[in-house]
Amino acid sequence: MDTAWHVELDRVSVTYPNGTRALKDVSLRIDAGEMVSIVGLSGSGKSTLIRTINGLVRATDGTIAVGPHEVTSLHGRALRELRGHIGMIFQGFNLAERTDVYRNVLVGRFAHSPAWRNLLGIPSAQDRDVALAALESVGMLEKVWARGGALSGGQKQRVAIARALSQEPSIMLADEPVASLDPPTAHAVMSDLRRINQERGLTVMVNIHLMDLARQYTTRMIGLRAGEVVYDGPAKDATDADFEQIYGRPIQVRDQLGAAG
Amino acid sequence: MTAPAVAPRRELPPKPRNILRVALIVTVLVTLTVAACTPAIGGVEIDLASISKHWANGAKKLGQMMQPNFAFLPRTVAPMLETLQMAVVGAAIAAAISVPLTLWAAKPTNANSVTRGVVRTAVNVVRAVPDLVYASVLVAMVGVGVLPGLITLVLFDLGIIVKLVSEAIDSADHGYMEAGRAAGGSQFQINRVTALPQTLPLFANQWLYTLELNVRISAILGFVGAGGIGRILDERRNFYAYGDVSVIILEILVVVVLIEVLSNALRKRLA
C-alpha cells in the first residue's frame, strides 16, 4: 500500500497577477488518509486551494507542508518529484484526446521515468505493469488502445483516475471531478474515489459544489466562501443551514445531484 | 381551437452606420492608389499604350507558344524530376526540423519567454527574405546546382510551418498539459508524449501544403541557377524557342495541378 501523506496549510494566501485575492489567510490541517470535500460556489477559491497543494498555483503568502515536503520552497526537478507523489483529476478530464488510453495513463509515470524513454516511446516493464494495473483497477483495461477522444465522459474520467493512480500517489486531488458527468456516472466516479481512499488508505481531497455528494461520500467537509474557510467539520453532520452559510444564499435545486439512476 | 394569431410585424432596430469612417477609408485608399501611379510625384509609370504598341510582337510570340514543340518533351523529363526531388526532399527536411522549432515557438509548449522569443524572431527574419533572394545568394555561396535550391526551400518551408503551427498551438485548449504538469512531467515529456500527437494533424496539414508550394517555387528557382526545370525554361527562353517554352509551362501546370489534387485529397483525410 502507498503511504498516505498529510497536508498542512499555514496562513496561505494567493493573489493572482490581476489582483484577484483567491485565498485569504487559510490555515488547515488534513491528516493522512482523510477523505475531505471542499465545498463552495465557483469563484470561492476551491480550485486555487487544491492547486496550491501540488504547486500548480504558487502561494503568495504562507507555507504548505505535504508529507515530508514544503511545497512553497520547491522548484524545478524537486517540485516535479513532489508532484509525482500527488495524483490529480480534473473537471474536464484533461486527456490527450488524439492519443491512446495507454499513453495517457503513462503520463502518470512521468516523474518516475527518464526523458529518453519518453523520447523513444519505450516505457519500462515496471511502468507498463503499473499503468495496466491502474487501468484494470478502474475497469478500463480493454480500452487500452482506444483513443482518448473516443471515450464517453465517464470512461474518460476513469482513465484520468487510472492516470493519477499510476503515479502510485500519496495524495489524490480532484477538482470538480463530476461536474461534467451525468448523475449515475457522477456517483460511480465518487464511489471510485471513496474506494481509493478506503482500500489504498490515500488522502483524498475533492472539490465539489453539490451538497448531497459531499455528505454522502466524504467524511470531512471544508466550506470556502470568497477565499476564506467558513466551515470545517464532519460532512454528514453538515446541516442545510451550514450549506446556506457556505453558499451565502438559500439552497437551490441545483445544489444537489439527486440519487443514482 | 383558435386560429393562430398573426405575429406582429417586428421593427428592425436601426443598424449602426458610420458613413463618415467608410468615406474616409475609401478616400485614403483611392488617393494612395492614384498617387502611386502618378510619375510626376514619384509614382510608377504605367504605360498601357505599350500593350497596343507592341501588340504585333506579342501576338507573334503568343502564336509561337500556341504551337508547343512536343518533340522537346523528353529533354524536360530529367530537369522536371530534379524539381520534384528538390520539392520532396526540401519538404521532408523542413518537416523534420519544424517539429522542435515549432514547439519552441509556441507558448503552451515552451514557457521560457527568452528562447521562445529567439525562435520566433529568427523565424520572422527568415520569412522576411523572398525565396528568389535566398536562391541567388546561396548560388553565389555554394555554387550552381540543386543544393542552393534545396536550402532555399527548407528555409522557406520552415518560415511557413513554424509560424502557422505555433500560432495554432497558441490558440488551442491544452487541458492535457495541466494533467502532465500535475503528474510531475517536465515540459519535454509533456511535449513529446501528449502535445506532439495532439498537434500532429496541424503539422501534417502544413507539411503537405509546403510540398505543394515547393513544386511551384522550385520550378522557377532554376532562373537564378538553383537547379530544376527553371534552368531549362530560362535557357529555352533566351534562345527564343517559344515552342519549347510552352511545352515546359504546360508540363509545370500539369504537375502542379496533380500535386495539388493529391495533397488536397490527403489533407481532407487528415481533417
**Nearest chain B alpha carbon to A89:** B179
* Residue B18 is assigned to a structural domain of this protein: no
Inter-residue contact A60 to A14 (CB < 8 Å): yes
pLDDT tier at B4, thresholds 50, 70, 90 = low
Cα diameter, chain B: 90
| CA-angle at A203, arms to A199 and A208, nearest 5° | 105
* Residue B200 is assigned to a structural domain of this protein: yes
Candidates B98, B105, B114, B108; CA nearest to B187 is B108
Closest Cα in chain B, distance from residue A77 (Å): 8
Closest Cα in chain A, distance from residue B85 (Å): 30
Candidates A175, A171, A142; CA nearest to A157 is A175
Inter-residue contact B247 to B68 (CB < 8 Å): yes
- Report the distance separating Cα B244 and Cα B232, nearest Å: 10
Closest Cα in chain B, distance from residue A171 (Å): 12
For A108, list phi and psi in degrees, rounded to 5: -65, -15
Q: Flag if B194 and A103 touch (Cβ within 8 Å).
A: yes
Closest Cα in chain A, distance from residue B103 (Å): 14
Inter-residue contact A49 to A56 (CB < 8 Å): no
The residue among B10 and B97 whose pLDDT is bigger is B97
Q: Is any Cβ of chain A less than 8 angstroms from the Cβ of B194?
A: yes
Could you identify the residue written with the cell 530544376?
B228
**Nearest chain A alpha carbon to B180:** A107
Q: In what order do the strands lie in the sheet with A228-234?
A: A86-89, A171-175, A203-208, A35-39, A220-225, A228-234
B149-169 average pLDDT score: 92
| A228-234 and A220-225 strand pairing | antiparallel
Helices then strands, each counted (H, E), chain A = 9, 10
Residue B271: predicted pLDDT? 63
The residue segments making up the domain with residue B139 are 70-270
The residues, ordered by sequence, that sit 6+ positions from A257 with a Cβ below 8 Å of its Cβ are A178, A183, A186, A187, A210, A212, A213
Inter-residue contact A169 to A161 (CB < 8 Å): no
Tens-place pLDDT, residues B57-110: 888 888 888 888 888 888 888 888 888 999 999 999 999 999 999 999 998 888
Q: What distance, in Å, lies between the first and last C-alpha atoms of chain A? A: 33
Indicate the average pLDDT of chain B. Answer: 87
Q: Name residues 13-42 of chain B within 8 A of A (Cβ).
A: none
B138-143 average pLDDT score: 89
| A61-66 and A35-39 strand pairing | unpaired
The residues, ordered by sequence, that sit 6+ positions from A47 with a Cβ below 8 Å of its Cβ are A175, A176, A207
Q: Flag if A80 and B190 touch (Cβ within 8 Å).
A: no
Chain B residues touching residue A111 (CB < 8 angstroms): 183-185
For A123, list phi and psi in degrees, rounded to 5: -70, 150
Q: Give the global pTM.
A: 0.79
Tell me which amino acid residue B212 is: E
Q: Flag if B183 and A167 touch (Cβ within 8 Å).
A: yes
| A35-39 and A220-225 strand pairing | parallel
- Report the distance separating Cα A193 and Cα A191, nearest Å: 5
Q: Where are the domains of chain A?
A: 1-85+171-185+202-249, 92-168
What is the DSSP annotation of A53-121?
HTTSS--SEEEEEETTEEGGG--HHHHHHHHHTEEEE-TT----TTSBHHHHHHGGGGGGS-HHHHHHT
Q: Flag if B175 and A94 touch (Cβ within 8 Å).
A: yes
* Residue B3 is assigned to a structural domain of this protein: no
C-alpha distances in Å from residue A50, one per residue of A59, A200, A215, B40, B237: 11, 21, 19, 71, 72
pLDDT tier at B146, thresholds 50, 70, 90 = confident
* A257 three-class SS: coil
Percent pLDDT > 70 in chain B is 97
Beta bridge partners of A39: A208, A223
| Other Cβ atoms closer than 10 A to A26 | 24
Inter-residue contact A160 to A89 (CB < 8 Å): yes
- The x, y and z cell numbers of residue B124, run together, are 520572422
Please identify every stretch of chain A with a pLDDT value under 50, giving residue numbers as ranges. 1, 260-261
pLDDT tier at B2, thresholds 50, 70, 90 = low
* Residue B28 is assigned to a structural domain of this protein: no
Inter-residue contact A260 to A210 (CB < 8 Å): no
* Residue B63 is assigned to a structural domain of this protein: no
Residues in chain B: 271
Beta bridge partners of A234: A220
B115-143 average pLDDT score: 90
- The x, y and z cell numbers of residue A237, run together, are 453532520
Q: In what order do the strands lie in the sheet with A7-15?
A: A21-30, A7-15, A61-66, A69-70
In a mutational test of the B interface, the residue from A52, A75, A77, A107 whose CB has the highest number of chain B CBs within 10 Å is A107
| CA-angle at A23, arms to A17 and A25, nearest 5° | 120
Dihedral sign for Cα A62, A64, A69, A75, please: negative
**Nearest chain A alpha carbon to B199:** A98
Chain A residues touching residue B184 (CB < 8 angstroms): 80-85, 110-111, 167
Dihedral sign for Cα A155, B169, B100, B208, please: positive
Q: How many domains does chain B have?
A: 1
Q: Flag if A96 and B182 touch (Cβ within 8 Å).
A: no
What is the DSSP annotation of B210-245?
HHHHHHHHHHHHGGGT-SSHHHHHHHHHHTT-HHHH
Inter-residue contact B182 to B244 (CB < 8 Å): no
Q: Write down the ipTM of this complex.
A: 0.86
Q: Which fold has domain A1-85+171-185+202-249?
A: Rossmann fold (3.40.50)
* CATH number reported for the structural domain that contains residue B235 in this entry: 1.10.3720.10
Tens-place pLDDT, residues B236-259: 888 888 888 889 889 888 988 998
Closest Cα in chain B, distance from residue A245 (Å): 32
Could you identify the residue written with the cell 537547379?
B227
